[in-house]
């Protein structure tokens, strides 16, 4: 790549981009101005990462919706590209094939809290509040919940998330470590059940609850699942 030394008129990539966006017809790089070929290159280079990120986001959003609607087997790259408003070749360029796209679209990090640093009798409340906040700041979780209840590939991915990211957290505070998988399933029944009603089905009473009310209702049951010696 050729380095461009700035001149008195300003021909660095930043200047070219600023000039093109400024609307000043007399500025180098602006529409109608006698700009050299490097100006257009600089504008394109500066805009490319932004376009790439927006394209990827559009593809992943369309993929989650299409996988939820059609299931993994029936969803097609062509349909996903159409939903995203791009050419199918762009999907292949970024993700290779449908399996690669599904893997990217279903990538989830729940950032489960370390409950060993939380007072024992507050562990469930901390966990419930954490998941409420995660669900409301990351639409990927809601999208994958929808995929998980409509096709096996999505369900398998959700099971994997809980096995890999939730069970170890619960095992650290579980009084009977070998029961951690069972207790994780019980915790999931409460947290995923509320998420399904609140964020996917939009059941009015569930949607209308404040965070404090959700915690007050769910935490006592989840606390028993986490720390009770026996059922």
CA dist., res. 209 & res. 211, Å (int)? 7
- Together in a domain, 124 and 218: yes
CA dist., res. 39 & res. 221, Å (int)? 63
- Together in a domain, 123 and 177: yes
| Radius of gyration from C-alpha coordinates of the chain | 25
Band of residue 48 on the pLDDT scale cut at 50, 70, 90: low
- The reported pLDDT for the residue numbered 212 is 98
Q: What mean pLDDT, rounded, does the chain reach?
A: 81
Residue 31 lies in a domain: no
Task: Identify the residue with better confidence: 49 or 65.
Answer: 65
Sequence-distant (6+) residues with CB within 8 A of 50 are: none
- The reported pLDDT for the residue numbered 52 is 86
Task: Identify the residue with better confidence: 135 or 152.
Answer: 135
Mean pLDDT computed over 57-81: 90
- Together in a domain, 161 and 219: yes
Sequence-distant (6+) residues with CB within 8 A of 8 are: none
End residue of a domain, out of 59, 78, 105 = 105
DSSP string covering 56-122 = HHHHHHHHHHHHHHHHHHH--HHHHHHHHTS-HHHHHHHHSSHHHHHHHHT--------GGGS-GGG
Closest CA to 164 of 137, 138, 184, 135: 184
- Together in a domain, 181 and 85: no
- The reported pLDDT for the residue numbered 134 is 92
Mean pLDDT computed over 116-127: 94
Mean pLDDT computed over 199-216: 96
- Together in a domain, 198 and 143: yes
Mean pLDDT computed over 115-138: 93
Q: What is the pLDDT of residues 72-104, one digit of tens each?
A: 888 999 999 999 999 999 999 999 999 889 888
- Together in a domain, 42 and 74: yes
pTM of the entire structure?
0.66
Task: Identify the residue with better confidence: 25 or 71.
Answer: 71
Sequence-distant (6+) residues with CB within 8 A of 43 are: 16, 17, 20, 29
- Together in a domain, 170 and 197: yes
CA dist., res. 95 & res. 34, Å (int)? 40
Angle at 54 between CA 130 and CA 93, to 5 degrees: 110
Q: Which of 8-17, 118-127, 138-147 has the lowest mean pLDDT?
A: 8-17
- Together in a domain, 119 and 59: no
- Percent of the chain past pLDDT 70, that is, above it, reads 78
Residue 75 sits in a domain of what CATH number?
1.10.10.60
Structure tokens at 157: 């991915």
Mean pLDDT computed over 205-227: 97
Mean pLDDT computed over 37-54: 58
CA dist., res. 134 & res. 36, Å (int)? 49
- The reported pLDDT for the residue numbered 162 is 84
Mean pLDDT computed over 118-131: 95
Q: At what angle do helices 152-161 and 37-74 cross, to 10 degrees?
A: 100
- Together in a domain, 186 and 150: yes
- Together in a domain, 222 and 152: yes
Which residue range(s) make up the domain with 58? 38-105
Sequence-distant (6+) residues with CB within 8 A of 3 are: none
Residue 18 lies in a domain: no
Tell me how many domains the chain contains: 2
- Together in a domain, 71 and 130: no
The length of the chain, given as a count of residues: 231
Residue 70 lies in a domain: yes
- Together in a domain, 217 and 120: yes
Whether 142 has a pLDDT exceeding 90, the answer reads no
Closest CA to 177 of 96, 117, 219, 116: 116
């Amino acid at each position: 790549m050729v380095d461009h030394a700035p001149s008195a008129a300003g021909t660095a990539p930043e200047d070219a981009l600023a000039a093109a966006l400024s609307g000043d017809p007399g500025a180098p790089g602006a529409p109608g101005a006698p700009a050299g070929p490097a100006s257009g290159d600089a504008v394109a280079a500066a805009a490319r990462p932004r376009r790439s990120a927006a394209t990827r986001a559009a593809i992943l959003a369309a993929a989650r919706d299409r996988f939820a609607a059609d299931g993994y087997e029936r969803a097609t790259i062509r349909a996903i590209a159409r939903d995203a408003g791009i050419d199918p070749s762009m999907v292949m360029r970024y993700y290779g094939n449908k399996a690669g796209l599904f893997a990217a679209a279903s990538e989830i990090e729940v950032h489960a809290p370390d409950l060993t640093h939380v007072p024992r009798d507050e562990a469930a409340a901390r966990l419930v509040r954490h998941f409420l906040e995660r669900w409301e700041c990351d639409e990927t979780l809601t999208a994958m919940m929808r995929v998980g209840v409509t096709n096996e590939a999505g369900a398998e991915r959700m099971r994997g998330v809980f096995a890999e990211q939730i069970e170890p957290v619960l095992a650290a505070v579980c009084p009977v470590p070998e029961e951690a998988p069972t207790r994780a399933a019980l915790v999931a029944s409460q947290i995923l059940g509320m998420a399904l009603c609140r964020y996917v089905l939009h059941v009015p009473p569930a949607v209308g609850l404040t965070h404090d009310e959700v915690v007050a209702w769910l935490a006592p049951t989840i606390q028993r699942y986490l720390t009770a010696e026996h059922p």
